[in-house]
Chains A and B, each alone.
Chain A
Amino acid sequence: MEKSKSITVLTPTGTLGYGFGAEALSRGMSLGPAVIAVDAGSTDPGPSYLGSNKPLVSDYSIRRELKDLISAAHQAGIPVIVGSAGGAGTGPQVDRTVALVRSIVAELGIHLKLAWIYADIPIERAKAAVDAGEVQDFEVGAPLTTEILDQTCSLVAQMGHEPICAALEAGADVIIAGRACDDSVIAAFPIWKGAEPALAIHMGKILECGAFSAEPFAMDVMLGTVHADHFILEPGSSQRRASVKSVAAHSLYERENPFSQGGPGHIMDLSSCSYQQSGQRQVKVAGARISETDEYYVKLEGARLAGYRSVCIAGIRCPTLIKAIDGLLEEVRAKAIAYFAPEEVIITFHLYGRNGVMKDLETAAETGHELGLVIDVVADSQELAHAACHQISGGLLHYHYPDVINPSGNLAFPYSPSDLDLGPHYEFSAYHLMKVTSPTEVFPVHFEDL
């Protein structure tokens, strides 16, 4: 397709399943988008979704929103692309989303070509890369090792636009991609149609959060149109507008370097970008530059099972206890560690009203008439975590301290049972760059005619 032709992408929301307005979608569709593209995941909600393969958003919400999107796209004769399906973009999460698509298509009584793309990296593939010196640390501060990979239960890589373009090239109408760069999900269709990659990827960086780049911001519809030397952003809802301020603000969001950003196989230079108001509701963006890297690296995201967690939630109201609490918690911690030794238990006291949110980074003075305490125990088994959590909560409940005025109990539990088992505790184990032989090497595409 000739480069002069403009291409509009409709992004319905910042995360599939987090909602969008009906008016915004219908108005957005009236503007003639060539594709609906939406992100469904991130590392943002933490390592649990990657490690457990459980979905971030309920099937109910994904199904409801995908049904609206597939229906609208089918009527318009345009494709739907979903990236980072299921929250972390693991194989089981892709499969779960694919099953929802099959069910939606059957219910709608339509026919389409479905594609899905896995982003799982076999552990042996990553180990070979480690052995070949083809893995670099990204921000972990430590190298990836074969030992860490042996502990890793879930490993994905962020795909670029190329595997999605391959699915489009094969005629896919609905594409469910595993872990993908947020911007690649948006940029894939325009790049496939011949748009300037720097513009398409930069547009993807802003569009991927939906109408979070508009004002008032919301999880809602946002559209971007790539032209030959710029792109235009506009919210779907007539109740919102894009402003230079809202768009420029979003270009800083959730990323460290506002001027230079690496992606799969490329580096984006955003230092010369310009943002210009166009009418009341649109912003025109230009100036992104891209350079391809000599070698193609993808970002790995891995999680490992790091134990099992039990917690106890309790309130503390007595001023004599509040005054003594720091020392008491340390005494109780030391007793628990000694009691369970040589078994290892990791004990955290989240003390709200003191430093529950920021821990060691808290510098504020102590104030307040009550404290919230979350006793958080991680151990090798759920039984051990539960045992330690109750040993601590029960112990603290009846712990004697000097100045005690109320000896009948130190903790106000909102719940019975007081100790709650939260199940497996996952931690990130890999956040490194791995060299691949081609942009599509580790991202196999599958097709099915529905």
Chain B
Amino acid sequence: MTSLPLYQLADIVRSKNAGPYRITFDIMFTDKARYEAVRDGGAITPETVAAAYGLDVSQISSFFKIDQAMALKVTIVRPRAQGAAGEGDMYGCQHHVPLMNIAVPAM
């Protein structure tokens, strides 16, 4: 089966602070078939997202499939609190790239 990076199927892949101790990622679709293919395709799971960031899966704090919004949502525990010494992304808004590059099955 051929595969594509997630960003070629999703309309939006974004990251953002959800409070100072979490970064939340939203993967959003406008096409229902694409949403369902990614939702059910097994390539985007807590385990694969953790692997994309070199995190232990215990650092994935939640994972949601939101049919009403045709979206997947995954949240990680921030390795460093927002604004702590050594931290590099105050809004958590530039953490989406490893996620958007995860290979998902082509439709």
By a beta-carbon cutoff of 8 Å, the part of chain A in contact with chain B is: 43-48, 138-141, 245, 248-249, 251-259, 273-275, 306-307, 346, 348, 350, 356-364, 376, 378, 425-428, 431
Contacts and interface: CB of A to CB of B under 8 A. Distances in A.
Contact of B85 (A44, A245, A254, A378): A378
The residue among A273, A356, A427 with the most chain B CB atoms within 10 A of its own CB is: A427
Q: On chain B, which size bracket covers the interface?
A: 35 or more
Given A140-B21, A254-B16, A275-B68, A363 B52 contact: yes
Contact of B62 (A48, A245, A256, A360): A256
Given A141-B21, A259-B64, A348-B85, A357 B94 contact: yes
Given A252-B66, A361-B95, A346 B17 contact: no
23 contacts: A141-B21, A249-B12, A249-B71, A251-B69, A252-B69, A255-B24, A256-B22, A256-B61, A256-B75, A257-B64, A258-B64, A258-B69, A273-B68, A306-B84, A356-B88, A361-B54, A363-B52, A376-B85, A376-B86, A378-B85, A427-B85, A428-B20, A428-B82
Contact of A425 (B18, B85, B97): B85
Contacts of B61: 256
B11 to A, nearest CB: 9
Given A45-B90, A249-B28, A431 B12 contact: no
Interface of B: 12, 16-22, 24, 26, 28, 30, 52-55, 61-62, 64, 66, 68-71, 73, 75, 77, 79-91, 94-95, 97-98
A431 B64 CA distance: 24
A172 to B, nearest CB: 30
B61 to A, nearest CB: 7
A350 B88 contact: yes
The residue among B17, B53, B75, B83 with the most chain A CB atoms within 10 A of its own CB is: B83
Contacts of B18: 254-256
Contacts of A431: 19-21
- Across the A-B interface, give the 3 residue pairs with the lowest CB-CB distance, nearest first: A46-B83, A248-B69, A139-B21
Contact of A428 (B28, B81, B98): B81
Given A43-B20, A245-B30, A275-B68, A357 B88 contact: yes
A348 B83 contact: no
A258 B69 CA distance: 10
Given A254-B24, A348-B85, 9 more contacts: A139-B22, A141-B21, A251-B69, A252-B28, A252-B69, A253-B16, A254-B17, A358-B98, A362-B98
